[in-house]
Structures are given as C-alpha cells and as structure tokens.
Structure 1
Amino acid sequence: MADTLQSSTSGGARQAEANPVTRFFRATEIDTRLLGMVGALLIIWVGFHIMTGGLFLTPRNLWNLSVQTASVAVMATGMVLVIVTRNIDLSVGSILGFSGMIMGVLQAQMLPQLMGFNHPATWIVALAGGLLVGAAIGALHGSIIAFLNVPSFIVTLGGLLVWRGATWFVTSGQTVAPMNASFRLMGGGTEGSIGATASWVVGALACMAIVVAIINARQQRKRFHFPRRPLWAEYFLCVLSCAIVMGAIFVANSYYWPVNIARKYAEANNIPWPETGLFIPHGIAIPVLMAIAVGIVMTFIATRLRFGRYVFAIGGNPEAAELAGIKTRWVTVKIFTLMGVLCAIAAAISTARLNAATNAQGELDELYTIAAAVIGGTSLAGGTGTIAGAMLGALVMQSLQSGMVLLGIDTPFQRIVVGVVLVMAVWLDTIYRARAK
C-alpha cells in the first residue's frame, strides 16, 4: 500500500513538474508528429514565398495548390492502409491512367453514339465505368497477393507496366478529348467551384460538425470512464479547428474569376460591368471537396469500422491476427480493391482537370502517393499511419513541386528533390520508431 501511494505521488509530482509546453500537449492531446509536419509545411510556404518574391502565399496559388493536391491526396488515403499491412502498391499511377482513359473513351467516343451528345447521364455512366475498372484491377492485384502468395512489390510492379501498356493500347496512344461538361466540374476551374456563399455554408457546417464531434468524444469518454481533456483544452481545439476552416474558406473566396471570364459571364447574364470590375469569388473547388469527403470516409473506415481494426491488427502482427480469426487474405483483397477505387476517383479528378485522357496521365504518381503516406507518418514497418497525416503529406509534396515550378526549376531537379525528401522521411520514421521503443 505504501509502495502504491509512493508511486502515485511520484507520478503526480512528475506531471506537476513538467514544463508548460509538455502539460499543454498532454492536455490537448495534439499529435506532436503531425504538428511537426504542419511546422515544416509552414516553413516551406514561407521560404518559397520569399524566394518567389511574394508569389507563393497568394489566394490564386494556394487555390491552385489545393486543386493540384486533390488527386494524390485521394490515393494517399488508400496507400495508408496498404502500407500499414506491410504491403506496397507501385501501380497506382498506371491504374489512374488506365481508368482515366476508360472514362475518357466512354464519354468522348462510346456513350455519345449510344445516348446522344450532352446526355445528362453521360458523366455518371463514365464515372461508374471507371470506378468498376479500378475496383476490378485492385481486386485482381489483391487476389494474386493474398491467394497466390506473390509479394505485393512484384505484383504491383508488374501492374505498373501492364496497365501503362494497356492505357496505350486502348487508343493506340492517342489523346481523348474533350470531356463531358458535367464531368469537367470535378476538375475545378471557374465552373468547378461552388462560389462564395456556398463555401461559407460549407465552412459553417464543418465547424458545427467539429464541435459536435468533440462533444460526442467527451461524452463517450465519460461513459466508459476514460480520462477527459480539461474544458479549456476542448474549447481551444474547437476554436483552433474552426479558425483553420474559416481561414481556408476566406482564402478560397479571395481568389476571383479572371477578368475575361467574368466579363463574358456578365454579358451572358445581362449584368452591367462596373467601373472597378466584377469580382466573382471562386470559393472551394469541387475536387477539393471530393478529396475532403474521401478523407472523412477513409478516416471513418480506418478508425470506426471493424475492417479498419483488422487492417491495423494485421500490420501490427500478421501471425497473431491470423490466429485471432481474422481472415487476413480477404482483408488484403478488400484493401487493394479499395485502393483501385480510389485510383479511379483520382483519375476522374485528373481527367476532368486536364479535359482530356492522355497516355502519360498518372506517371510517377505512385512516387508522390507513397511519399505522401510516408511523410504523413505511415510506417513502412506496418501497423502505424493516419489518413489526415497522409493528406497533409500530399500537400507537402505538392507544395514542394509548386514552389519549384514558380522558381523555374527544371523537372529533373524536381524529381531529385522529391527522391531526397522521400529518403529523409523514411530515415526520420526509423529514428522515431527507435525512440518510441
């Protein structure tokens, strides 16, 4: 009894003696690793802003940056589950290219003959066809890995070559364009954004959802007698999260339509042209909303569903998961099927943004996707990773690429930088895991 009392007292003393920063992070439960990534992202942004003479941190560039990040961010959410189970998928870029080509051929060549031009269901059928193709390819890869015991590295490396070649054979290397008008909305642009009012509504709903989620989490902790954060920490997280959301909305609404497009819009709608010009905010781009929606769904799958628990259990100890009754092979098939679907969603975003399906579409995206997941904290040793971290990692990767483009750096050197960043991320992950033991 005396030993227990002494241990409890010493533990309380250690907590009391902790410095204010340590007590703050303990109270708010903020992931310090994720916070470090945010800090690195801010350093990258400020550095590029200075080096580009004030061009980087502008509403226009940040808006374009969010759109450019969307497709890789979508695939990175699936790559987290793949890597968590100690697998790898090198074929995501080729699956994106093949799925995008299928969607392009459907809406530009096949469906107009069957349904007529500009049919309202064209984009739906084309998107559904691409999703089915992506899911089928992912299921094929997963089945070979799970039931034939071929390493995922070899299967997906073969897939990288096979589906890139198949993309060429679909149209003999020809570019397919243009895309359906409704389909193009998924690519962003002036029409592919929701405007200022709808953006503020989305921001308000997001803030409400954040507050409800924090309240619900607190009630669940109370229900199961888990430790709860101090009330000031809950208020701080609510305010911080809502401020970030509203700040992002403000930046999106600060980027206006180009003058020529705004003038054409005014003429088409009989709107008098003001002397100071017509300022029409873009608002949030549709591909960004798609990426956020995918991130929310994937987070729910990874943290709230039994399937997600199985994924992390397999990554932590495959043998123990098998002995516990988890059907590890079918889980593997489902993971790669899901990865294929996400590649098709990314293909829809990429194809719509380009307004064309090309043979080179998605090249090297596997590198950026894997790098985004690893930079976001997903361990190549398996068992560890977060969806939010991977999406933030995608933003870091795209920020590096966007900044180097603004600086006029050649593409070969850009790839060198990406390769160095990937190696450093794996090295830092190794150090982090060694210290955590």
Structure 2
Amino acid sequence: MTAPTLPSAIKTMPGTTEGSILSRLEIDVRMLGMLGALAVIWIGFDLLSGGVFLTPRNLWNLSVQTASIAIMSTGMVLIIVTRNIDLSVGAILGVVGMIIGVVQVQWLPGWLGFGHWLTAPIAVLLAVTVGGLIGLFQGWMIAYLAIPSFIVTLGGLLVWRGAAWWVTTGQTIAPMDGRFKAFGGGVEGALGANATWIIAAIACGLIIVGLGLSRRRRIRFGFPLRPRWADASIAAFACAAVIAAASLANAYPLPGGIARRWAEENGIAWPEGGLFIPHGVALPVVIAVVVALLMTFLAKRLRFGRYVFAIGGNPEAAELSGINTRWTLMKVFGLMGVLCGISACISTARLNAATNSAGALDELYVIAAAVIGGTSLAGGVGTIAGAVLGALVMQSLQSGMVLLGVDTPLQNIVVGAVLVLAVWLDSLYRRRIK
C-alpha cells in the first residue's frame, strides 16, 4: 500500500486550511485551560501577598518544591491509565528516605569515612532499588494475586509509614552527606548562571529539532501536517518560555554571606555594593524535567507505553491481543516505586534530614496532580506533561496559601475541593466529546 502524497495528506487534516487557530496548532484545550488557571492563581496570590508571590525568590523555591511531586505524578499517570490507584507513594517516600538517611549517617561513614565521594551515589542507587522493589512487590500482589490496587496500596500506606518509624523508632536522622544535599536544591544544588544558559540553549535546540523530526515523520508516512507558521509559533512560544525560566532562575542571587565566602575562596575582591551571583536553575528541577521527558518518551514511543494505554482502554481486548497484562501492570507499579525513590532523595536532601513524617499526604497531591492534568480515572487517557503542570498548580496553591498564612487544615480543605472539582470537570468534558 502506497502512502498518500503530501498534498493529499495536507488536505485530509482537519483545520489545516480552515478552522480555529487551536485546531491548526493541535493544542489540547484542557492544557490551555490549565495554563490559564495557573496564570490566575499566580496573579491572584501575587495581588493578595503584596507582590511577594511572583518574585524570583518565591518562584525559584516553588520550582524546587514542585520537583518531588512532579516526578511521582508522572508515574501516577500510568497507574491511573491502567484503571488502578496507588495510595502508598507518600509512605514509600518516607520509608526510603529513612533508609538512605540511616545509610548515610550511621553505616557508610564507618565503611568509607565521612565525606566520601561514593556516599551520595550509593544512597541514590539504594533509594531507587528499594523503591523499585517495594513497587514490584505491590504490583505482584495486584497483578498476580488479583487483590484490588486500592486495598494493596492502602495497606502499603499503613505498612510503609509504620516501617519508616520502625527504622529509627521515630528519631530524625541528620545531617546528610554534603554532596547528597545538592539533590535538594538550595545553595549546594544551584547550578549557576552559565550552566543555566547552556541548559536553556540545549532545551531550545531540542525543541526545534524535535518539531523538525516530527514534521519529517509526518511527511514520510503521509500524516496530516500543521502549517509551517503553526510549527514556528509553537517553537517560538516554547523557546520563549525556556528563556524566561532561565532568566528568572538567574535573577535570584545567592545570599550575601555565601556570596562573600565564595568570592574569598576564588580570590575575588569584595566590592562595596557586594556581588550579584545568580543561583541559576536548581538540580532537582533539572531532574524533574529529565524524568518527565523520559516518561513521555516511554509512554508515547515505546511498546511498553502502548501496552499500558491499551490495558487502560480495554483490559480484556489487550489480553486477547497477546499483551502480558499482569507483567505489564507489575512493571508499572515497579516504575512508580523507582520514581518514589528518586523523590525520596530530593525530599530528604532538601530537608537535610530523614524524618518520620516525610511524604505525609503526598499521595493526595500526586493523585490530584495527575487528575488535574487530564488523566481520567476511568483509565486509558492521560499525559505526562499534564501531570507535571498539575503538580505545579497544586504546589502553587499550597505555596500561595502558606504566604498568606492560611492554616494547614484549611489548605487541605482547598486541595480536596480542587481535586473533586477537577474530577467533575473531567467528567463533563468527556460527556461533551462523546
């Protein structure tokens, strides 16, 4: 069968020569709505806080705070897509954080000595391994023992939260290894201005190359094409967003005392007005972006991702088509455990301590981020980018309420109400498009 020629392919594309601008750009309306909601939230909190919310310092901290939830929400998308749920992610983060805290403070110094360069890599590898094993174990019970995911992960929430206390009988473990603290952001995890601009340049290049390769694939297989102006508009908007984020990260300077110490260490004379040394982008933010890109590639380009969405769309048909649904489901939960391990590293490093309460209520924020991002609880539908944006929305709400001095119980009320509202709006949207 011969692929259609380019002119006929272009003619078959809805909205290429006629229709709305959104259809020509192939933009998800719900994603655009989320961006609008995020803008309203940011502007509203900035007005209520007297201009504090939209300062470089607060937005930089907001990006670091979002990283942990955003990483776990990418895995929650795949779990919800398969028509399951994971209520144990916060507890897994807590127990993994306590384990790597004990390893860094009590075990490795006796074997390697204090400040050894292998301490941080070993801690990260251990976190990913332990989290992955916990996820695989829960996935095995769900897939092969046919226990509902709600029950397994609800039990996991209680078991792993209790295990986190049992590891040290509730004691806080601190401080973490100096190199490990970079995973939490802060001064240790700030990459600086030069690295930030290099990352921004690479990101813009990848955006342009990605759009070009996508257009070539469409031409090769005779798929409908966006107008060239549409691709150019998307590239310009995305690159502008990247440059704006880099500029914002570089607009937040290091504290005076730290900047003075850095100048002395590098033999730089301290001027009368001080030095403006930018933080740059934070390492946990870079990790979150890389994880989101890898998860998007896994979900959209690999066979595993297609299997996951096929199972969510119709489990019976997926099994009849030859997909090993149980093994695939087990791997989905194992991947969720790995992501919890990565988030545990970020959370523990950010606090510079392993605490028994780490990850408390994170499952609420992770599930809310995925659902707000467009993942349907009915299964079969969801996007990684939407979940990351949903995590930013949830964290923005929490950060804004903290700035305004809202009590924690009221914060939980707002988050719960937003989650219910998001599910209701999702059901309305799906009834409309049917």
Same structural fold, with TM-score higher than 0.5 when normalized by the shorter chain: yes
2:414 aligned with 1:417, yes or no?
A: yes
**Who is 1:303 aligned against?**
300
Cα distance change, pair 242–15 in 1 and its aligned pair in 2 (3 A): closer
Within the alignment, does 1:50 sit opposite 2:64 as a pair?
no
- Alignment correspondent of 2:106: 109
1:188 aligns with: 185
CA distance in 1, matches of 2:266, 2:217: 52
Residues 212, 15 of structure 1: alpha-carbon distance in 2 compared, 3 angstrom cutoff: closer
Q: CA deviation at 1:137?
A: 0.4
Is structure 2 residue 381 aligned with structure 1 residue 384? yes
Match of 2:138 in 1: 141
Alignment of 1:89 with 2:80, yes or no, is no
Residue identity opposite 2:163 in structure 1: A
Instruction: Using the aligned pairs only, state the percent identity.
Output: 63
The superposition leaves residues 243-278 of structure 1 with CA deviations (integer Å, 9 ceiling, x where unpaired) of: 000000000000000112112222333321112211
Residue equivalent to 1:3 = none
What residue number does 1:254 align with? 251
Query: How far apart are 1:119 and its partner, in Å?
Result: 1.1
1:34 aligns with 2:31: yes
Cα distance in 1 for residues equivalent to 2:267 and 2:239: 38
Map of 2:285 onto structure 1: 288
Count of residue pairs brought into register by the alignment:
424
Structure 2 CA distance for partners of 1:227 and 1:276, relative to 1, 3 Å: same
1:222 aligns with 2:235: no
Please state how far the C-alpha of 1:15 moved relative to its aligned partner: 6.0
Q: Scaled by the length of structure 1, what TM-score is found?
A: 0.95
Whichever residue aligns with residue 138 of structure 1, its letter is: G
For 1:273, the aligned partner's letter is W
Letter in 2 for 1:409: V
Q: 1:372 corresponds to which residue?
A: 369
Residues 137-174 of structure 1, C-alpha deviations (whole Å, 9 max, x = no match): 00000000001100000000000000000000100100
Change (3 A) 1:16 1:62: closer
Superposed displacement of residue 16, structure 1:
9.8
User: How has the CA–CA distance of structure 1 residues 29 and 15 changed in structure 2, closer, same or farther, with 3 Å as cutoff?
Assistant: closer
Matched, 1:316 2:307: no
- In the aligned structure 1, how far is the partner of 2:111 from the partner of 2:314? 51
Specify the code of the residue in structure 2 equivalent to 1:48: F
How many angstroms does 1:358 deviate by? 0.3
**Structure 1 stretches of 5 or more lacking a match?**
1-7
Q: Which letter maps to 1:26?
A: S
* 2:16/2:226 contact within 8 Å kept: no
Q: Within 5 Å, which residues of 2 pair with 1:58-207?
A: 58-207=55-204
CA distance in 2, matches of 1:369, 1:252: 25
In structure 2, C-alpha distance between the alignment counterparts of 1:415 and 1:15, rounded to whole Å? 43
The residue aligned with 2:4 is: none
Q: Is the 8 A contact 2:67 2:285 kept in 1?
A: yes
TM-score normalised to structure 2 length: 0.96
Once the two structures are superposed, what CA deviation does each residue of 1:288-328 show, in whole Å capped at 9, x if it has no partner? 00000100000000000000000000000000001101000
What code does the residue aligned with 2:321 have? Answer: A
1:241 matched to 2:238? The reply is yes
CA distance in 2, matches of 1:255, 1:381: 42
Per-residue deviation at 1:116? Answer: 1.2
Equivalent residue of 1:181, what SS? Answer: coil
Aligned to 2:22: 25
State the Cα deviation string for residues 157-215 of structure 1 (Å, max 9, x = none).
00000000000010010001110111000000112111001100100000000000000
Structure 2 counterpart of 1:276, from 264, 270, 273: 273
1:266 correspondence with 2:263: yes
User: Against the structure 1 CA distance between its residues 272 and 171, is the aligned structure 2 distance closer, same or farther, given a 3 Å change threshold?
Assistant: same
1:99-130 per-position Cα deviation (integer Å, ceiling 9, x unaligned): 11111111111011111111110111111111
Q: Residue 436 of structure 1: CA displacement?
A: 1.3
| Cα distance change, pair 354–15 in 1 and its aligned pair in 2 (3 A) | closer
Q: Distance in 2 between matches of 1:75 and 1:419?
A: 19
Deviates more, 1:87-96 or 1:256-265: 256-265
Shift of 1:71: 0.2
Separation in 1, partners of 2:91, 2:177: 23
Match of 2:332 among 300, 310, 335: 335
Quick check: 121-130 or 327-336, which moved more? 121-130
Aligned positions of 1:2-13 closer than 5 A = none
The residue type equivalent to 2:86 in the other structure is D
Indicate the residue corresponding to 1:5 in structure 2.
Answer: none
Q: How many Å separate the matches in 2 of 1:15 and 1:30? A: 12
Q: CA RMSD in A?
A: 1.5
Q: Distance in 1 between matches of 2:265 and 2:233?
A: 47
Which amino acid counterpart does residue 424 of structure 1 have in structure 2?
L
**d(CA) in 2 for partners of 1:37 and 1:126?**
36
- Report the secondary structure of 2:393's partner residue: helix
Query: Could you tell me how far 1:17 is from its partner in structure 2?
Result: 10
Is the counterpart of residue 347 in structure 1 residue 341 in structure 2? no
For residues 428 and 232 of structure 1, the distance between their equivalents in structure 2, rounded to whole angstroms, comes to 32
Question: What is the DSSP-based 3-state SS (H/G/I as helix, E as strand, rest coil) of the residue aligned with 1:169?
Answer: helix
